[in-house]
Chain A
Amino acid sequence: MTTGTRHPQTTLATTRLQTRVAVATLPTIEPRRRRTRGIGRRICIHLALLAICAAAILPFLWMVSTSLKTLEATLAYPPRWWPDPIQWQNYIEVFRNPKANFLLWTRNTLIIAVLGVAGTTLSSALVAYGFAKLRFFGRRTLFVIMLSTMMLPFPVTMVSLFAMFRWLGDTTGIAFLGTFKPLWLPAWFGSAFNIFLLRQFFMTIPNELSEAARIDGCSELGIFWRIILPLSKPALAVVALFAFMGIWNDFLGPLVYLQRPEQFTLALGLQNFQSKAGGTSWHLLMAASTLVILPAILLFFLAQRTFIEGIATTGTKG
């Protein structure tokens, strides 16, 4: 690490970095310790893990089971695990419901996600390149300041950001509040953690390639775009994936900035659907929740493989 100091923020950020890599390679991490001895002990560990996994997964099964029940079946007592009859229409019903517009909400979420993910990936990479490969006055100080901003809770700036976007709208005549802009625009100015993650990755790329390009008269921007970015696809994918998950999960941001139901994101829409539909249509609510959860889980399983490959290839290069 060129900053040299063991700054607590750097340590915190490094730990978070390890986590992302660990999440990305979740099933492949091989325990370094020798095989656990004793058959009795192994059985105990299995039993404990089975109980924990049951607690983790039963709520999911219950959700899916409820989502396939008829309204009467959800209200039956005692409840049954297996829905009979299985009512697939619930999932269609969710999309047809007049109180909800899940298709539109999905579209809205995807618009914000595409703009936000593109913005945060591109700008974070640009800034990370500056911190990793270029020497300039004040680099160290700026880097430490950047790491400290990771600890700032969103509620602290929430109120004044809202006031600022309102002022910006009044001054420029371009509406900000009640549009998607406050939700994706800040992403185009880099996010501290992603900058850190990409910087760590860029620093592992040897300088010889860039030097050769520089001698051939390539500009810094050209080196960044033609040499560094193509070599960093796996790291960029990690940033993009987590940025997407962040936007997909965000609730407070849309709640603050979006006002009309036709602008809602899925997270906000789901909450709105629940509060409007009242406490009885559990089958529809669970079907909607399943639909919101599914992409996140699918993405996790799909991305896992790409990430492992990505990390494996970079490992051989280094």
Chain B
Amino acid sequence: MASVRRQLRASVIGLAFVSPWLIGFLVFTLVPVALSLYYSFCSYSLLQPPLFKGLENYRTLATDPVFWQALRNTIVYGAVALPLGMLAALCVAMLLNSKISGVSIYRTIVFLPSLVPAVASAMLWLWLFNSKLGLINTTLVALGVSEPPQWLASPRWAMPALILMSLWGIGNTVVIYLAGLQDVPRELYEAAEIDGASSLRQVWHVTLPCISPVIFFNLIMGIIGTLQVFATPFILTGGGPARATYFYTMYLYDNAFSYLKMGYASAMAWVQLLIVLALTALAAWSSKRWVHYQGK
């Protein structure tokens, strides 16, 4: 009896300690997620109480060309920027992992751009991409390109410009890879060397399998991050020209706060949640084939 009481007391104390998170989870996560599910079946303008409309929002979404364009833009951006960024970051991390003089300076410099707030880096790139006076085009002209791209002003080049810009901010990913590369057991390289494996084969058979959990991590975080891209296109292009850079979260934001279609925006939020869950599950499922966890 005494031990039951003691256990109960311990449970009360433990729950009291985690109660801030528990309350926060209920109020700031569970309730909003549930509410947005409810709103997604309603017509809701904030000014009047929500009006239940069944599946109407989802039906409208299915035939909304702007929704599909925003989704397509987001997918195109993710499908190019994410693998490109991950590959570039891995290559840079491998270079930074070599034991050469001054490598710590290189590391710090490569990391610096990821400290820049999204808004400030948007300002910076707005100026760099300026079609007449920007550093990029004046350099291109100096190199003999007679008609450099109009970048952010051109429906064709705005998206490539955003992708190019995203590469500037890979420092964070580089550091994650670097931490992973440091953990690769040195014995494995030595063994591979004794077996006569070339550098390339060492990368393929030793490095990549060893850091596959890190690659997996970057993939998941990249997927979640890509679906939320907002500040950069919002400031650089406002989604234009001709909605060429109109992203999913921007349309969600516009529906909610510019058109006050809260129900419709909530339906978009739930579709977004389902996409995140589906892609994460897909990545987790595929990871069984290519992610190797070293026994601990």
The 22 sampled A-B contact pairs (Cβ below 8 Å) are A8-B284, A8-B287, A19-B172, A23-B172, A26-B111, A31-B97, A34-B186, A45-B100, A59-B168, A79-B133, A136-B10, A136-B14, A154-B228, A155-B272, A156-B276, A157-B32, A159-B36, A159-B39, A159-B252, A163-B44, A189-B27, A220-B13
B27 to chain A, nearest CB (A): 7
Identify which of residues 68-101 in chain B touch chain A, using a CB-to-CB cut-off of 8 Å: 92, 95-100
Identify which of residues 216-244 in chain A touch chain B, using a CB-to-CB cut-off of 8 Å: 220, 224
Q: How many A-B contacts are there with CB distance less than 8 Å?
A: 310
Known: A23-B111, A56-B110, A57-B109. A18 touches B28 (CB 8 A): no
A33 to B185, CA, bound (A): 9
Which chain A residue lies CB-closest to B88? A52
Task: Known A-B contacts: A156-B32, A158-B269, A274-B126. Give 10 more (CB < 8 A).
Answer: A11-B217, A136-B11, A157-B32, A157-B33, A163-B39, A186-B28, A188-B20, A251-B119, A251-B234, A255-B253
List the interface of chain A (C-beta within 8 A of B).
6, 8, 11-12, 15-16, 18-19, 21-23, 26-29, 31-36, 42, 45-46, 48-49, 52-53, 55-60, 62-63, 66, 74-75, 77-79, 123-124, 126-127, 129-131, 134-137, 139, 142, 145-146, 149, 151-164, 166, 186, 188-190, 192, 195, 220, 224, 245, 248-249, 251-252, 255-256, 267-268, 270-271, 274, 282, 285-286, 288-289, 292-293, 296-297, 300
Residue contact B36 to A46, C-beta cutoff 8 Å? no
Report chain B residues within 8 Å CB of A289. Answer: 120, 123-124
A150 to chain B, nearest CB (A): 9
Report chain A residues within 8 Å CB of B252. Answer: 155, 158-159
Known: A27-B107, A152-B33, A154-B228. A166 touches B46 (CB 8 A): yes
Known: A31-B182, A79-B138. A131 touches B35 (CB 8 A): no
Contact with A along B248-285 (1 / 0, CB 8 A): 01001100110000100110011011001000100010
Residue contact A77 to B98, C-beta cutoff 8 Å? no
Known: A11-B293, A79-B133. A63 touches B175 (CB 8 A): no
Q: Looking at B14, B110, B111, B176, which has the most chain A CB atoms within 10 Å of its CB?
A: B14
Report chain B residues within 8 Å CB of A124. Answer: 21
B51 at the interface (CB under 8 A from A): no
Interface majority SS on B: helix, strand, loop or mixed? helix
Residue contact B119 to A126, C-beta cutoff 8 Å? no
A48 to chain B, nearest CB (A): 6
Residue contact B21 to A146, C-beta cutoff 8 Å? yes
Residue contact A12 to B220, C-beta cutoff 8 Å? yes
Contact with A along B118-161 (1 / 0, CB 8 A): 11101111111010110100100110000000000000000000
A193 to B222, CA, bound (A): 17
B117 at the interface (CB under 8 A from A): yes
Interface pairs A-B: 4 shortest CB-CB: A189-B24, A136-B14, A130-B17, A27-B104
Report chain A residues within 8 Å CB of B135. Answer: 58-59, 62, 79
Residue contact A15 to B213, C-beta cutoff 8 Å? yes
A9 to chain B, nearest CB (A): 10
B229 to chain A, nearest CB (A): 10
Known: A11-B213, A33-B99, A136-B10. A190 touches B186 (CB 8 A): no
Residue contact B175 to A56, C-beta cutoff 8 Å? no
A11 to B262, CA, bound (A): 36
A247 to B167, CA, bound (A): 23
A166 to B46, CA, bound (A): 9
Report chain B residues within 8 Å CB of A256. Answer: 253, 257
A137 to B273, CA, bound (A): 30
A152 to B24, CA, bound (A): 14
Residue contact B104 to A36, C-beta cutoff 8 Å? no
Residue contact B11 to A160, C-beta cutoff 8 Å? no
List the interface of chain B (C-beta within 8 A of A).
10-18, 20-25, 27-29, 31-33, 35-36, 39, 44, 46, 92, 95-100, 102-113, 115-120, 122-128, 130, 132-133, 135, 138, 141-142, 168, 171-172, 175-176, 178-180, 182, 184, 186, 189, 213-214, 217, 220-221, 224, 227-228, 230-231, 234-235, 249, 252-253, 256-257, 262, 265-266, 269-270, 272-273, 276, 280, 284, 287, 293
Residue contact A15 to B214, C-beta cutoff 8 Å? yes
Which chain A residue lies CB-closest to B271? A156
Residue contact A31 to B103, C-beta cutoff 8 Å? yes
Which chain B residue lies CB-closest to A189? B24
Report chain B residues within 8 Å CB of A251. Answer: 117-119, 230-231, 234
Residue contact A152 to B29, C-beta cutoff 8 Å? yes
B264 to chain A, nearest CB (A): 10
Residue contact A157 to B116, C-beta cutoff 8 Å? no
A185 to B253, CA, bound (A): 22
A66 to B135, CA, bound (A): 11
Report chain B residues within 8 Å CB of A271. Answer: 119, 122, 235
Which chain A residue lies CB-closest to B39? A160
A23 to B173, CA, bound (A): 11
Residue contact B117 to A77, C-beta cutoff 8 Å? no
Residue contact A129 to B17, C-beta cutoff 8 Å? yes
Residue contact B175 to A49, C-beta cutoff 8 Å? no
Report chain B residues within 8 Å CB of A285. Answer: 123, 127
Which chain B residue lies CB-closest to A55? B168
Report chain B residues within 8 Å CB of A161. Answer: 28, 32
Residue contact B224 to A151, C-beta cutoff 8 Å? yes
Which chain B residue lies CB-closest to A251? B231
A60 to B116, CA, bound (A): 10
| Contacting residue for B272 out of A26, A46, A153, A255, CB 8 A | A153
Which chain B residue lies CB-closest to A79? B138
